[in-house]
Amino acid sequence: MKLIEFHAVSKTYEGRVAVRDVSLSVTQGERLVIVGHSGCGKTTLLRLLAGLIAPDTGSITINGDRVAADGRNLKEPEERNLGMVFQDLALWPHLTVTGNLEFGLKAHKIPRVERDTRIQGTLALVQMEPYAAASPAELSGGQQQRVALARALVLRPKALLMDEPLSNLDFELNGQMRQEILKLQQALGFTLLYVTHNPDEAFEIGTRLVVMRHGTIERMGGVEEIREYFKTLSRQLG
């Protein structure tokens, strides 16, 4: 079942084409990784899907519901039921771990008892229950990453969008968090759209990979197909 569809989507910033005529579908429960160099358009695709910006042309549908078309957003970000983890995590520094998770639940008018149940259960999933009363400044980089994940997942989104979420972590912690993301996805079954510039990260996390270049999809396929594609490129450049 197709959960997300981009139909000939384009976006230009101040005369610079960020995304050009992109058509792409994502199936329910899939782990799709968008990989490419900085400026290739991969983050713009996530921002378009999340509703943070509107496409200039083309349309976007989520679960069959058109959310953007004709140069404007038809559904606001909070109406799309998507979770997002940003590169800088964007945790609210003045709120505790619990407060960070509760903020979105309150905005969605989730009753207090259900809020408490969801928060406790989600913190348990990411092994952050002991830190419920801590502020983000008191946490390590890996712990902050887990809180950002929990804040997105506590809303029970149709899909989780992750934009270079591990780029600020050291090598060992990066590898550990990759495994934790995979375990969470397998346990909860959410659809994952993951953006990275790191091919090794893409190969480990994705079941299907999209290679972007200059705002367009250059190649799309399974892990082994894209791995071979990168090897061929490397030989040609070498």
Domains annotated for the chain, with CATH where assigned, are: 2-81+157-237 (3.40.50.300), 92-156 (no CATH)
| Both tokens assigned to 103 | 């903020």
pTM equals 0.93
Stated as kind and residue range, the H or E segment containing 196 is strand 191-196
Q: What tens-digit pLDDT sequence spans the chain (238 residues)?
A: 899 999 999 999 988 999 999 999 999 999 999 999 999 999 999 999 999 999 999 999 999 999 999 899 999 999 999 999 988 888 999 999 999 999 999 999 999 999 999 999 999 999 999 999 999 999 998 899 999 999 999 999 999 999 999 888 888 888 999 999 999 999 999 999 999 999 999 999 999 999 999 999 999 999 999 999 998 887 877 6
Model pLDDT for residues 21-79, shown as the tens digit of each residue: 999 999 999 999 999 999 999 999 999 999 999 999 999 999 999 999 989 999 999 99
| CB-CB contact of 26 with 32 (8 Å) | yes
Which segments of 14-78 are extended strands (E)? 16-27, 31-35, 57-62, 65-69, 72-73
Burial of 208 (0-12, 13-18, 19+ CB in 10 A): middle
Query: What is the C-alpha to C-alpha distance for residues 235 and 156, in angstroms, rounded to an integer?
Result: 44
Radius of gyration of the chain (CA): 18
